[in-house]
Structure 1
Amino acid sequence: MVGYCPICGKPVYFGEKKRSLGRDYHPLCLKCQQCQRQLTPGQHAEHDEKPYYTNCYM
């Protein structure tokens, strides 16, 4: 089953997905919505279903 990236809305295929906080992202889409820093799966905060670098979220 193909999931959809919550950032760009496009399909995320198994070989390219980064799974974090129960969602599948494209590697380039998993970045902080404030500072644009690339994020590591599970090592970020989420607000309004968007990922944020922990320091930006605080």
Structure 2
Amino acid sequence: ADTSFYPGDQHITMPKCPKCTKEVYFAERVTSLGKDWHRPCLKCEKCNKTLSAGSHAEHDGKPYCNSPCYSALFGPKGFGRGGAESHTFTK
């Protein structure tokens, strides 16, 4: 019996998550940076914060939160401009 979801095509390849390299199924997929990720795998490379598709920065194909990580790592350098010392944490 044909148990595939698409009769006649038994070689469906699922996209692989760029973080964990496991298959990404439709229900758990989030697309960002032109790739399909598991929702929990789309995290900032520096601080590990979970990110939302389209609301984060990218450097060399890797996701980063906009602030403070991307700003501190890749933003303009100088006193009070993008360094960790210029970020104010609020409650």
Higher relative contact order (CA 8 A, sep 6+): 1
Structure 1: gaps (5+ residues)? none
* 1:12-37 Cα deviation digits (max 9, x unpaired): 11111011121111011011011111
Alignment identity in percent? 52
Could you tell me whether the CA contact under 8 Å between 1:7 and 1:50 is conserved in 2? Answer: no
Aligned residues: 58
Higher radius of gyration, 1 or 2: 2
Check if 1:52 corresponds to 2:74.
no
Q: Following the alignment from structure 1 to structure 2, what is the Cα–Cα distance between the partners of residues 45 and 28? A: 17
CA RMSD in angstroms comes to: 1.1
* Residue 46 (structure 1) shift: 1.2
After the TM superposition, list the runs of 4 or more consecutive aligned residues in structure 1 that deviate by more than 6 angstroms: none
Q: Which residue of 1 aligns with 2:16?
A: 4
Cα shift at 1:49 = 1.6
Structure 2 unaligned regions, length at least 5: 1-12, 72-91
Distance 2:64 2:16 in 1: 19
TM, length-normalised to structure 2: 0.59
